[in-house]
Amino acid sequence: MFLNSLTIENFKGFTKTQIKFVPGVNILVGPNNCGKSSILQAVFLAFRFLDHYQLGKKDKKPDDIGVSIKDEEFHLPYPDRSYISTNLKKQTQFKNPHTGFLLDVFISSEKENHKVKIETLFSGNNTNIYVSKEEGFDRETAKKDLEKVIGNEEFREINARITEEKICFVPLFAGLLAKEGGLTDAKAQESIWKGRSNEVLRNKILRMDENDFHVLQNTIQETFGINLSKAEEHGADLESHYFEIDEEGKPKKVSFDVFAGGSGFQQILHLLVYILSSKADIVLVDEPDAHLHFDLQKKMFQALRRISLEGKKQIIIATHSFEVIHEGMEHGDTKVFFVDKNSDYQESVNDKSELARNLYESGIIGAKTLQEFTDKMTFLVVENEKEGKSIVEKFFTKKFPQKIRDPLFQIIEGKGNGTVLEHALAYQADSNEQQITRIFLRDSDALTEEEKKKIIESEKLNDLKKIFYLEEFEVENWLLNSQVIARLISKRKQLENLLAIPEEDIKKLIQEVFDAFGSIEGIRILEKKIRGRFRSHKGILFPNRSNEDFDTQSEEESQKRTDQILKSSFTEKIKNMPGKEVFKRLKQKISENFKIQISELDVAEEFLVEEIPSIFNQIKAVTPE
């Protein structure tokens, strides 16, 4: 038998939600306080209430359809009922007689399906359970069902098959006692219900049947390489020993009580003992990975999955472990749910990238793990030195703060035309089976629009590769904004209103730098940069030219363009002069005239969002979400 679906209403953090399970392993993931444990508890209480209802109605008459239950009979360690129902407030008396919660259970087996609706009402200090076997719940239906149970043996047998030991909620591990005395079944079970399962582990081992203990031995040996013996009485105490395995695979003579094992061993032993000693078809486990290292988390899940397959048990796990989640996504018999207590329906997640994104945003995994796990990445490759990349990052942060915080979007430096880096990214995509989008942001270096077009057409662009050329000579040209610089200097010198630095004063300083480029040194700098761009795309811009012809023609063309730039207007020079060198000289003049130091990032930080170049909107438009 397995739980097909569960609908929860007014239970803990859930107003109303539904979740559909698979017969194998079901993994509930999500941030803290999202409702993972609440789903486990709701499943447990559904079966607990059915069981209690089955026993309690033996002495009931059809007119008395409710069965009362005490708080301690919930068999979950709640301080009181106010922790269970969303519409209960913590108070001594519950005055609203209709306060409670609903659990709608759909149970399936090889031969039959059962839909059961359970209503729990709190009134005063009493808790009453009402059960209906029909689609809609009402008191009349519940009354008819009770009449059937009282007068129909077959109906009673079906209900008994549902409520006999079908569910096991593995208690949380709290460390083993150094010594443990023998207990009766009743006393051991009472300790478990009160949250003291660590006090009775050896008692559980002692009472395991041979087949279940054999499975436990094999699993422990495969996981830890040790041999476990059954619990035995030693005076007033119980002891369960393990033997280390020698090189020949035989147990060594010296044995240790399980208390001597490490905490990881004790935790997995505790988990396996409670699952295997139970005859339940449905097993609930809350954070079994806690305190286990990565490798043990993986082995623990593999052991649980094997028990599920071989023992035909449905296992529902609440976890934060990325190893468990990752391992579970690899198997078709396992379903992963990202739990959201505000959602009407808990969806299973099949897309690894979507799951990885949810896990990252919930703080369960870090950026590096997200990058390794996802099948999609986007790189914005800035053709510039370190300063240019930093300026682009600053503008992106201001304009698209959410995007810049996305680990799947990275801005990286690519010197030259980025060919070497492009090959490296393509290799990463192939080796990691990732879909990598590459967006190249390149300096214009005085190229004409026609030349840019030729270069772009030669590079065979597609959805995973885009190229953007600046209108400006290079990234630093953006910083030659006289209004922004004047505003920055005024703030630094704490000058306001009429005393603020006029924009015209900055324009004059920039013009002085432009004039200095008319010197032989300035002309050489400009020509060299332009020739460098020609050389990067020699085969495209100067096809079928010998090296000698190329040197001659590129030199003539660079001289021509340098002359055109130096003779252009102030506005054209802002775009077409080499921005890096201009800004470097402008900083010196600002230092001399205003006695302050500014950097490239200082100016970039001063930009308002509306002042950031429009090319960033174009880049964002082709960036995958």
- Chain segment 248-302, per-residue pLDDT in tens: 666 666 677 888 888 888 888 889 988 988 888 899 999 988 888 888 999 999 9
Q: Write down which residue in 221, 255, 279 finishes a domain.
A: 279
Q: What is the C-alpha separation between 67 and 52, in angstroms, rounded?
A: 8
Packing angle between helix 210-224 and helix 294-311, nearest 10 degrees?
150
Q: Write down which residue in 279, 306, 333 finishes a domain.
A: 279
Q: How many domains does the chain have?
A: 4
Question: Do 104 and 158 fall within a single domain?
Answer: yes
Angle at alpha carbon of residue 92, lines to 87 and 95, rounded to 5°: 55
Q: Please indicate, yes or no, if residue 195 is contained in any of the structural domains.
A: yes
Strand order across the beta sheet in which 282-286 lies: 167-170, 282-286, 314-318, 25-29, 334-338
What's the mean per-residue pLDDT of the chain? 81
Q: Please indicate, yes or no, if residue 542 is contained in any of the structural domains.
A: yes
pTM, 2 dp: 0.73
SS (H, E, C) 571-625: HHHHHHCCHHHHHHHHHHHHHHHHCCCCCHHHHHHHCCHHHCCCHHHHHHHCCCC
- Report the pLDDT value the prediction gives residue 97, as an integer from 0 to 100: 44
Nearest to 538 by CA among 552, 525, 526, 527: 552
Question: Do 21 and 125 fall within a single domain?
Answer: yes
- Report the pLDDT value the prediction gives residue 161, as an integer from 0 to 100: 47
Which residues lie across from 181 on neighbouring strands?
A: 237
Question: Do 159 and 20 fall within a single domain?
Answer: yes
Q: Please indicate, yes or no, if residue 128 is contained in any of the structural domains.
A: yes
Q: What is the C-alpha separation between 243 and 236, in angstroms, rounded?
A: 23
Say which DSSP state 531 is in.
H
- Report the pLDDT value the prediction gives residue 100, as an integer from 0 to 100: 67
Question: Do 398 and 428 fall within a single domain?
Answer: yes
497-534 b/e (C-beta count within 10 Å ≥ 16 → b): eeeebeeeebbebbeebbeebeeeebbebbbebbbebb
Give Cα separations from 224 to 203, 227, 247, 317 (angstroms): 22, 9, 14, 22
Return the structure tokens found at 623: 């960036």
3-state DSSP call for residue 183? coil
Question: Do 403 and 275 fall within a single domain?
Answer: no
Q: Please indicate, yes or no, if residue 303 is contained in any of the structural domains.
A: yes
- Report the pLDDT value the prediction gives residue 465, as an integer from 0 to 100: 85
Q: Please indicate, yes or no, if residue 585 is contained in any of the structural domains.
A: no
Query: At 157, which CATH number?
Result: 3.40.50.300
411-440 b/e (C-beta count within 10 Å ≥ 16 → b): bebbeebbeebbeebeeebeeeebebbbbb
- Report the pLDDT value the prediction gives residue 81, as an integer from 0 to 100: 66
Which residues lie across from 257 on neighbouring strands?
A: 241
Q: What is the C-alpha separation between 595 and 592, in angstroms, rounded?
A: 6
Question: Do 109 and 16 fall within a single domain?
Answer: yes
Question: Do 135 and 30 fall within a single domain?
Answer: yes
Q: What is the mean pLDDT of each run of 10 residues along the chain (625 residues)?
A: 86 89 93 90 84 58 58 69 60 44 74 72 69 56 53 48 67 81 80 78 85 88 84 67 66 74 87 87 90 89 91 91 89 91 90 84 84 82 81 93 88 68 62 77 90 87 86 93 94 80 93 88 87 86 86 89 92 93 94 92 94 93 85
Q: Please indicate, yes or no, if residue 113 is contained in any of the structural domains.
A: yes
Question: Do 159 and 298 fall within a single domain?
Answer: yes
Question: Do 384 and 359 fall within a single domain?
Answer: no
Q: What is the C-alpha separation between 334 and 25, in angstroms, rounded?
A: 5
- Report the pLDDT value the prediction gives residue 199, as an integer from 0 to 100: 82
Nearest to 272 by CA among 308, 232, 234: 308
Q: Please indicate, yes or no, if residue 502 is contained in any of the structural domains.
A: no
Long-range own/partner contacts, residues 251-258 (CB < 8 A, 24 or more apart):
251/227, 255/229, 258/176, 258/201, 258/202, 258/228
Q: What is the C-alpha separation between 386 and 412, in angstroms, rounded?
A: 9
Angle at alpha carbon of residue 434, lines to 432 and 439, rounded to 5°: 125
Question: Do 110 and 5 fall within a single domain?
Answer: yes
Which residues lie across from 5 on neighbouring strands?
A: 20, 106
- With beta carbons less than 8 A apart as the criterion, state whether 223 and 242 touch: no
Mind listing the pLDDT tens digit for each residue in 129-165?
Answer: 777 665 544 555 555 555 554 445 544 444 444 445 5
Question: Do 318 and 227 fall within a single domain?
Answer: no
Which residues lie across from 251 on neighbouring strands?
A: 245
Q: Write down which residue in 469, 486, 501 finishes a domain.
A: 469
526 sits in which H/E element:
helix 520-536
Q: Please indicate, yes or no, if residue 594 is contained in any of the structural domains.
A: no
Question: Do 19 and 77 fall within a single domain?
Answer: yes
Say which DSSP state 543 is in.
T
Domain range for 223 is: 172-279
Which residues lie across from 106 on neighbouring strands?
A: 5, 115
